[in-house]
Amino acid sequence: ETGVTQTPRHLVMGMTNKKSLKCEQHLGHNAMYWYKQSAKKPLELMFVYNFKEQTENNSVPSRFSPECPNSSHLFLHLHTLQPEDSALYLCASSQEPGAGNTEAFFGQGTRLTVV
Amino acid sequence: TQLLEQSPQFLSIQEGENLTVYCNSSSVFSSLQWYRQEPGEGPVLLVTVVTGGEVKKLKRLTFQFGDARKDSSLHITAAQPGDTGLYLCAGEEKERNLIFGKGTKLSVKP
């Protein structure tokens, strides 16, 4: 298996549930990202991990908690979400960000619905 | 705040027509990328342009990077229904993360 794989593809959860999104990359990249894509908004960068260290947190609410145990795996732990958090959550990987000619490879996304 | 503006936001055309999509910013980018995203899927990288004035071709798609490296265009010749999707541009500033535009939603009708 190659590329960036996200699971699950679809998730429906209640506001009191706890769930986790998983991302795995087999491209040998050093950086991994979580993006949120909502209707009528540009892709919103949530978190960046570079060599397993979190380098960016774009003012994301604490009900979203990322985890990066190694350069190949990235998780997004979800807790007490709101209906407005319903969106497509995309994981991506790349070589070191900002180093020039950084190309992002995306997973297929997890379509999250909060009820 | 960095901003990448794409136009038009929506485009609906007939098969065989030509079209151009634009991506503009006040920022200078070290590279600019174009992605296509189909419904329910993640964006897929189409091309990266790096040099001001650079032109790259991918079959019926022609990508151009502005001389000042602040803007880019994507031209599709003889569009086909398979070209339908959301086209996203993304700019990379030195030592910073990619920023994405809102995208152009293209629909090509048979």
Query: pLDDT by residue (tens digit) across A24-56?
Result: 999 999 899 999 999 878 889 999 998 777 777
* Chain pair A-B, CB pairs under 8 angstroms: 66
Would you say how long chain A is, in residues?
115
Q: How many CB atoms lie within 10 A of CB B65?
A: 24
Closest Cβ opposite residue A43 in set B41, B94, B100: B100
Name which of A37, A109, A17, A33 is nearest B102 in CA terms: A37
| pLDDT for position A74 | 96
Å between B43 CA and nearest CA of chain A: 6
Interface of A with B (CB under 8 A): 4, 6, 33, 40-43, 45, 48, 56, 90, 92, 97-109, 111
Summarize the confidence of residues A93-102 as an average pLDDT.
74
Render pLDDT for A56-89 as a digit per residue (tens, 0 to 9): 777 899 999 999 999 899 999 999 999 999 999 9
Strands B104-109 and B10-14: parallel
Three-state DSSP state, A89? strand
Name which of B35, B13, B15, B12 is nearest B23 in CA terms: B35
Å between A31 CA and nearest CA of chain B: 11
Å between B27 CA and nearest CA of chain A: 15
Name which of A23, A29, A3 is nearest A89 in CA terms: A23
**For B49, nearest residue in chain A (alpha carbons):** A101
CA distance readout (Å), A68 to A3, A24, A49, A63, B98: 17, 10, 7, 17, 20
